Structure 1
Amino acid sequence: MHIQELIPHSGAMVLVDDIVEKKDDFISVKTLIKHDNPFLQNGKFPTFNTLEIMAQSLVVYRGLNDNSSNARLGFLLGARRFDIVKPNLNIGDELITKTHISEDFDGMGVYESSVYVDDKLVASASISVFNPSQEQLDQILKASNE
């Protein structure tokens, strides 16, 4: 299965390139910062944008574990303890994102994620994500149309 099949984004917005490792409660993904990355600013990739890579790693994990169409749909609600060790990354840097999967509670989850370049930590965060069930999604869509 290709990464593009697991992530609802397309083109350059797909920031995850490959799966490095997957376990029951863990996923590690690889990202190469390319010249067409939409988050580049003056030729640099601001490290705060690794939050999107962390979120996409969860989408990849869910897509590998759940074949339902809403497995790919998630909402990044926030981040706590977001530590940035290096403010900018470079084109050509290979990032390894490691995310520990916690228990979900009714579609809500908090996940610990860290990003490395050359085995050196560049960012880490505890991210909160909402991954609605089909029933929850139907209720949200119904309420938004009222």
Structure 2
Amino acid sequence: MIPWPLAELLPHAGDVILLDAVEQFDDDSILARATVRPGGPFSDEDGSLPAWVGVELMAQTIAAYAGCRARAKGQPVEMGFLLGTRKYECTVERFPAGSALTLRALRSLEDESGMGVFECQLEGPGFSAQARLNVYRPPNASQYLAQAQETPHD
């Protein structure tokens, strides 16, 4: 396990944090776990999670990876953005309540501008999901967001 609490790794708060723990991380990958809990912000009435929430779980795993890297370097955790996904494939329509999930993300590309691509996998009892996620972590997220708010929109 890693030495930092999830709340110090993710720019999320409260029940929006879907991960339970980060088991391992290194320069290129991360292994995390989560449990499908009823009553969460994405839960269906029966306590299950729709399969599309797998993308959010994968994105939070990547965010935890970035948070671990920042903490290991003594830097603050910065906000990042999910730009999209390619080929999200899931073997079920929903993740049953109580299911233990294992999430893996492997960095396959990252450039100096903050653009990155991760190969992600989610596994649970009798099901799996996989996708390639495209993410962006600007060098200074606060400044980036301030500039975006100042820019006129059509």
Q: Normalising by structure 1, what TM-score?
A: 0.89
Aligned pair partner of 2:22 in 8, 19, 32: 19
Contact 1:80 1:125 in 2 (8 A): yes
The 4+ residue runs of structure 1 with deviation greater than 6 A are none
Residue 144 of structure 1 corresponds to: 149
Q: Secondary structure at the match of 1:92?
A: coil
Q: Structure 2: where are the runs of 5+ without partners? A: none
Q: CA deviation at 1:143?
A: 4.5
Superposed, 1:110-129 pairs within 5 Å as 110-118=117-125, 120-129=126-135
Give deviations 1:41-65, integer Å, cap 9, x for gaps: 1222111101111111111111111
Distance 1:19 1:139 in 2: 28
Query: Cα RMSD over matched residues?
Result: 1.7
Q: Please give the alpha-carbon distance, in whole angstroms, between the structure 1 residues aligned to 2:57 and 2:34.
A: 8
- For residues 51-87 of structure 1, the C-alpha deviation after alignment (integer angstroms, 9 at most, x for no partner) is 1111111111111111433x43111010001111111
Q: How many residues align?
A: 143
Letter in structure 2 aligned against 1:15: L
* Percent identity for Structure 1 against Structure 2: 27
TM-score, structure 2 as length reference: 0.85
8 Å Cα contact 1:27/1:99 also seen in 2: yes
Gaps of 5+ in 1: none
Does the aligned pair in 1 maintain the 2:25–2:68 contact within 8 Å? no
